[in-house]
Structure 1
Amino acid sequence: MNEIDTSRTDTGEDAEPGGHNNASSSMYSRKSAAHFKDRLGELEMENARLHRLVAELLIKNQQLRRPD
């Protein structure tokens, strides 16, 4: 799920003072549209999973705070 792009290493040679990079190509410009579509699908599934998790935790929290 997590990918690290090891093909590009920033050496700081193209960096302006203050840390801004002037490189004309970003690491995202080399990725295909299919890669972005796949990644979007993964992120949407992860987002839905996290929403369910938050909802479950809210319910458990309410149950714990309920007076006996």
Structure 2
Amino acid sequence: MSNELPTVAGATQEKHAAHETPHAHYHRSPQARTDPAHIEELERENTRLQLLVAELLIKNQQLRKAEPD
């Protein structure tokens, strides 16, 4: 899996797709947490959260620019 983040413009689509992924990994035994599938899932979730933060930062900047002085 690449460490590069998709553009923010595509973040909304990926964000919605990520919500469809079940979060059953929170209930797995500690031994199963090092399996490659779990690590890949955590990497996807991390990317999704980074994109969400980027979207929120952009929205925040836009709102600040729109505020009257």
TM-score range, shorter chain: 0.5 to 0.7
Higher relative contact order (CA 8 A, sep 6+): 2
Partner of 1:28: 28
Change (3 A) 1:43 1:4: closer
Shift of 1:31: 4.7
Greater per-residue helix proportion: 2
User: Aligned-pair RMSD on alpha carbons?
Assistant: 2.6
Could you say which structure has the larger radius of gyration? 1
Counterparts of 2:46 and 2:56 in 1: how far apart (Å)?
Answer: 15
Structure 1 alignment gaps of length 5 or more? 6-25
Q: Which runs of 4+ in 1 moved over 3 A?
A: none
Q: Number of residue pairs matched?
A: 47
Structure 2 alignment gaps of length 5 or more? 1-17
- TM-score, L = length of structure 2: 0.52
Counterparts of 2:32 and 2:51 in 1: how far apart (Å)?
Answer: 26
Change (3 A) 1:3 1:51: same
